[in-house]
Amino acid sequence: MKTAQQIANDVRAGESALVAVEASLAAIKARNEELNVFLYVDEDGARTAAEAVDAKVRRGEDPGLLAGVPIALKDNMCTTGIPTTCSSKILEGWKPPYNATVVDMLAAQGAISMGKTNLDEFAMGSSTENSAFGPTRNPLDPTRVPGGSSGGSAAAVAAEMTPLSLGSDTGGSIRQPAALCGLVGVKPTYGLVSRYGLIAFASSLDQIGPFASTVTDAALLLEAISGHDPMDSTSLPEPAPSLVAHVNDGVAGKRIALVRELVEGADDAVVASVNRAVEVLKDAGATIVELSIPELHLGLSAYYLIAPAEASSNLARYDGVRFGNRIDGDDVTAMMEATRTAGFGAEVKRRIMLGTYALSAGYFDAYYGQALKVRTRMIEAFAAAYQQADMIIGATTPSVAFTFGSKTNDPMAMYLNDVFTIPTNLAGEAALSVPFGTGEADLPIGVQLLGPGRSEARLFAAARVLEIADGR
């Protein structure tokens, strides 16, 4: 499949957007039954949108940055009249009355939505095994997971069904599947991309971001969806940054920190890839410093109090009354209990109960309040690190993609997949994963680059250096 940039250039030059759409539909039909990537494919809508892009080109108008580019949307982003389920039985068949802001922004830039992709239910998971509609399989090895929670969006790009997709990242849910599927995945600075219409898991952590097969395509997509949105009270009050223009800036003169805690416990092959990436960046003109940020060890514990607490509050709206599915009972309490019992899966119930406990009277200060203090410590620790370095490098995941069922019976083993990605969400800063090297069974390894808020341009530039060195 062509890159997004190539498709957009070809469409502007007069090639019909329908060419790319039909190629995408053919790829989806070829492997979707095997991989379970798309929960809903909008064939008619995609063709109609492509025809509208072609009409703009014929009129001499610019269709936008993503002219005619097929894109997949994680099924936790609202789409008018199109099912949005969060891969949960409690929202099965629900059709929102409005679009998420990013959906409208994509349309305004000429992108063609192909449909909605599978995820861990309500974005709670690291393997896409928690979906109520079955797991998604890794296109590179269908016996293994694609990562999560945005596993469907990652698999869509890895299987060349679409050149781009959008996921959401609460504790690593873009970067982790990007690493396991050999893609570029970006968790933007909190507030850079609107969350309006993103169905909330943990509101202070969630952020929408891109998957792409190249650094340039990822930068192009992030540029297209960034910018202030008055509908989102947490949206940064500034325009979209210039990103594509800086992809080839390089790293000469940049200070890059190798942080010990972001490789500790990783497989030998992952550590070797990170070390090799450090050497590549050094050869490209960067100054390498070694740092320790001991506070990062506290990230997992703080996250699994803060995120479930926010989920407990956010998911209270699914009560069988206002919207979504409903199971009748003898009274309101029985109806709500029956609806939530049948509607939520095991992992969602686990996190709701954990979060409710952490927020309960007598335990709030000891658990949730303490976790917020740890979060502040982590923000301060990152700020101190960025006084000594322009960006940080480490591993994205401890290992390559693992086999189905190998971690489902041990929640802690599953949670540890996000140990390197969670700190950035707690700090609200920027990070991306770029493929660099391979490990077990020749499966891809992701190297993670982290930076302070609004540092996406320099992260893309460093990622591009690694991309070139990796032969892509």
Taking residues 414-433, report their average pLDDT. 97
Give the domain CATH number at 44.
3.90.1300.10
- Asked whether residue 318 is assigned to any structural domain, the reply reads no
- Asked whether residue 148 is assigned to any structural domain, the reply reads yes
Proportion of the chain above pLDDT 90, given as a percent: 98
pLDDT in tens, 40-70: 999 999 999 999 999 999 999 999 999 999 9
Report which of 245, 247, 240, 243 is spatially closest to residue 193, judged by C-alpha positions.
240
- Asked whether residue 101 is assigned to any structural domain, the reply reads yes
What pTM value is reported for the model?
0.98
- Asked whether residue 320 is assigned to any structural domain, the reply reads no
Instruction: Tell me which residues are annotated as active site.
Output: 74, 149, 173
Tokens, residue 444: 């891809």
- pLDDT given for residue 19 in this prediction: 98
The rounded distance, in Å, linking the Cα atoms of 419 and 298 is 10
Amino acid at position 440, single letter = E
21, 11 Cβ separation under 8 angstroms: no
For residue 360, count other CB atoms closer than 10 A to its CB.
12
Residue-wise DSSP of 304-326: HHHHHHHHHHHGGG-SSSSSS--
Q: How many domains does the chain have?
A: 1
The rounded distance, in Å, linking the Cα atoms of 262 and 397 is 9
- pLDDT given for residue 445 in this prediction: 98
**CA distances, 411 to each of 25, 263, 419 (Å):** 36, 21, 13
- Structural domain that includes position 168: 4-246
pLDDT in tens, 178-191: 999 999 999 999 99
Taking residues 438-465, report their average pLDDT. 98
Q: In this model, does residue 343 exceed pLDDT 90?
A: yes
Taking residues 281-299, report their average pLDDT. 97
The rounded distance, in Å, linking the Cα atoms of 137 and 159 is 10
- pLDDT given for residue 190 in this prediction: 98
**CA distances, 48 to each of 45, 109, 150 (Å):** 5, 15, 27
- Asked whether residue 162 is assigned to any structural domain, the reply reads yes
- pLDDT given for residue 175 in this prediction: 98
Report which of 207, 210, 228, 208 is spatially closest to residue 219, judged by C-alpha positions.
210
Tokens, residue 310: 């926010």
For residue 267, count other CB atoms closer than 10 A to its CB.
16
- pLDDT given for residue 1 in this prediction: 82
pLDDT in tens, 19-32: 999 999 999 999 99
- Asked whether residue 374 is assigned to any structural domain, the reply reads no
The rounded distance, in Å, linking the Cα atoms of 71 and 93 is 22
425, 303 Cβ separation under 8 angstroms: yes
Taking residues 79-86, report their average pLDDT. 98
Between 166 and 412, the more confident residue is: 166
Taking residues 396-413, report their average pLDDT. 94
3-state helix, strand, coil in the chain (%, to 5): 45, 15, 40
- pLDDT given for residue 472 in this prediction: 80
Q: In this model, does residue 242 exceed pLDDT 90?
A: yes
- DSSP code, position 244: G
Report which of 132, 115, 135 is spatially closest to residue 28, judged by C-alpha positions.
115
Bridge partners of 394, per DSSP, are: 448
- Asked whether residue 388 is assigned to any structural domain, the reply reads no
454, 189 Cβ separation under 8 angstroms: yes
pLDDT in tens, 84-105: 999 999 999 999 999 999 999 9
- Asked whether residue 364 is assigned to any structural domain, the reply reads no
Instruction: Convert 410-442 into a string of H (helix), E (strand) and C (coil).
Output: CHHHHHHHHCCCHHHHHHCCEEEEEEEEECHHH
